[in-house]
Structure 1
């Protein structure tokens, strides 16, 4: 199914993306974020060169690759100091769901835009009173003649101010008012009744978070993606790629922090000796390198399983990869700051901006505690604890 050495094509893709990202770098990304601007130039270049569409089917203008290829793009951008959060959402979750479950008309409408980066789409599942429990979502969608009517709200939804539409997870309500299994509907951000409000965050990122409100938003019949009550199986077709991509975003950020820390440890001299010669500095960095590489390997396995159609095994591996990557990036950024001493939190070195983002990797898009619950129950066969 997979090899421990990536294919020549995948390695060439990584090199090409790294070359593109090097022309932007952390200074560009951080300056855009602090100015409240978007990284439109980088996104447009990545789309023009085909990197955002590597996993879109060829018949719709994409590269015809798998989630492993898209994850490689995401990782290399993050490793170059440009962690694009919307890569986790738009070309990974939304394009994957539409490619797998959309109608022919939906695929023709949306996938070419995903392939070039001309279209960005958000994804909305989280609700304030549901948290990690997707079974408790209350946002509802019901039929009204030839239309759908959406009502409810979502919380912590990424990039609503820069996407054309949002793929919303809502519970299907039948004709007698019973709330059935989840459905997926595409909601244009300019639809009447759709409002969104910015949530201020400490994370330094051009991509902002929002609360969304749906006040009887009317949608055409073709807004529905897949079955009316598709349930969690269809939903996790998008969430497993999300976890693989989140792991790649995290390992990319970890690689950047580790590269910066080791460069500093080689060049910073105290008492006529580079600080990297001391085991108190070298060993923690070596431990971080091992953690990052193990997380990358687990992410590679998860992507290979998903691309092979092994959804159940991919779900387990994607959760493990997300957990490992979240722990690795949090530990690595923390250690990189420690190696730099006071410089670790100076604006000159930029590591402070990574601190909140790295810590977020242990929380979103699924918390480490819920992953441990999943592994305990599904991998170890222990009784369900929640």
Structure 2
């Protein structure tokens, strides 16, 4: 074992130089959104595993072993979601996801620091541990095409300049200095392309099979019985119902939803409503409408874009059945606010105050009775 370690130490300068070249190619190609960045990143990481082991930066060595795996994962992720122009869509995370990432990475870093301090002869264990855990998080963000990954890399690379310089890895210290500048370049490039991305395509207009009929929208906060009521009313009245489109859309989404996603969901919901309206004999029933997406956007992403506001304002159903959240909450990975249903219900009230609304509450039987009375009055013209 000893001769092998001595040989590794002898070749350390050459390995360092090769890793630097491949690493620079990786960052440059990543900033340009070229999938070939993962090939050079994998080569640089494989060399770095050996190099850092020889200088007793064990966490860094383990980190670069992880990078080898991430190079394969990154190649796979980028290759499966490319558009007609050969590029992938850049996404961005909400603030709460960043807070969660920082907290989890920080806790993991403290745990790794404790292990390195007690079980190894690692130099600078705290800085070593923190750069390791946050680098893992940032690399995952690159693979998932998250814009702000570059902000994390600017901070990580700046700290790594000092870490490597103190361990005598001059080439790697210089590399990290270059990385810091290239990360800033990557952020500028990705942000420019993120802002220039085409909106997601609008759903095609359905073929018209008849005059559209009035629409009754069942709405309200999450887990307030909307879908159950829509199914019950459709079955009782023999009228078609438009299913909620958000669930199917989110289940197929591979990254956190964005403003574009919510606009697209609203468009898909309106398409489903139009199709149901054309099939209906008396009226169509819809499990939610654009008002749900509008309030969702305001609550999670901030002020809604003009396109979403216009969809809500121009959509004029003959009746809203506003479901009160007075039923037990059911856990669901797509639901986000188990303790704010009453607060959100008041937001629905305020948004729909100038529209025809009947509030629905009580047991399932009571809800169905109240809704049926409202529908009977609608048909009779009351």
Taking structure 1 as the reference length, what is the TM-score of the superposition? 0.22
More helix by share: 2
Larger radius of gyration: 2
**Taking CA–CA contacts closer than 8 Å with sequence separation of 6 or more, which of the two structures ends up with the larger relative contact order?**
1
Taking structure 2 as the reference length, what is the TM-score of the superposition? 0.22
More strand by share: 1
